[in-house]
Amino acid sequence: MPTETPTGHGYISDKDRYLTRLRRIEGQARGIQRMVEEDTYCIDILTQISALTSALENVALGLLDDHLKHCVADAARAGGAEADEKINEASAAIARLVKS
C-alpha cells in the first residue's frame, strides 16, 4: 500500500472530521477577535485563547498520529531512503510541536 496515493494521505478517512474541527477553531478565533473588539476582560480572552490553542494542538496530534500510522509505517515496511526520509520528517514535525 503506497503512503501517498492520488486519493490522499493517511488522514483522508478522517478528512471531514478534521475539517469540522478546523471550522470550529476558525469560529473560536473569530470569537476571540470579537472579544477584543468589545473590550472583554483580559482573563476571559486568555481563557478562550487557551481553549483555541488546545484545540489546535489536538488537531496537530491527530494528524501526526495518522502520519505515523500510515506514511511512516508504510515507508518503514518498504525500507531504504524513503523510510529514513519519513522518519526524519516525523522527528522534525514533533520537534516543531514541542517548541510551540
Confirm whether 95 is domain-assigned.
yes
Confirm whether 81 is domain-assigned.
yes
Q: How many folded domains does the chain comprise?
A: 1
pLDDT band at 56 (very low <50, low <70, confident <90, very high): very high
Confirm whether 86 is domain-assigned.
yes
User: pTM of the prediction?
Assistant: 0.78
Confirm whether 7 is domain-assigned.
no
Tell me: the pLDDT tens digits for 17-40? 999 999 999 999 999 999 999 999
Instruction: State the average pLDDT over residues 90-96.
Output: 93
Looking up residue 81, the CATH number of its domain turns out to be 1.20.58.1000
Confirm whether 42 is domain-assigned.
yes
**Domain around 59:** 13-99
Task: Please give the full DSSP string across 40-83, using - where no structure is assigned.
Answer: --HHHHHHHHHHHHHHHHHHHHHHHHHHIIIIIHHHHHH-HHHH
Instruction: State the average pLDDT over residues 35-53.
Output: 98
- Residue 10: per-residue pLDDT: 67
